[in-house]
Structure 1
C-alpha cells in the first residue's frame, strides 16, 4: 500500500488547491514551471498529511506557515507531521508566509540550493 496521495484525502487536496493562501499562490507561481529544475507538486498527500508543496525527485516537502503555526497545539501537530515525514525519507523545510511575501527571491534561492545539493547526493 502506498502512502503517497491516498484516495481518502483526494477531495480535501482538490479543495486546498482551489483555496490556496496568498503566500502559497505566489510561491506556486514561482515554482510551477520547473524553476528549480525539477517538478514540484502542490497539495500532495503523504499518509494522513497534505503537504503544501512536494518535490518527489529529491523527497523534499515545502511548507508555508501562517500565524496559526505559532500556536502550541499546531506546533505539536507540525512536529508529529515532520517526524512522520522524516521517517519516510522526506526532508521538510518551512517558510513563514512573510518570508514568501516579502523575500520570494531568497526563498526560491534557498530551495534551489537545497535541490541542487540533494541531487548531488
Structure 2
C-alpha cells in the first residue's frame, strides 16, 4: 500500500471516531459500541492489499460516516412521554406532513385513506 493511501486510511479511521464522538456524545454505551465496531471493521480488512479494493472500502467508510452525521439523532426523555432531540447542523431535516386521524375511515378491519399522500385538503 502506498504511503498516500495509508494516510487516507488513517485519516478516515480518525474521522469516523470523531464523528462517533459527536453523534453519540454523553451516551457512554453507544460511544463504546461504536468504538468497538469501527475498530473491528478496520481490523477485519487489515489484510486487504489491492488498492482498488482499499479505495472501495474507504468510500464505504465515508458513506457510513455521512449517514451517521446526517441521519442519526439522539433523543432524551425530559418528561414522561416527552423527548428532546439533539439536532446538529449536519442533520438532514425533511419536510413533515401532518397526519390527521380524521382523514382515514375504518371499514371493517381495513383503513381507507380519504385524501392524498400530502394529507387532508
TM-score normalized by the length of structure 1:
0.33
TM-score normalised by structure 2 residue count: 0.33
Higher helix share: 1
The structure, 1 or 2, with the larger RCO (C-alpha pairs under 8 Å, 6+ apart) is 1
Q: Answer 1 or 2: which has greater strand percent.
A: 1
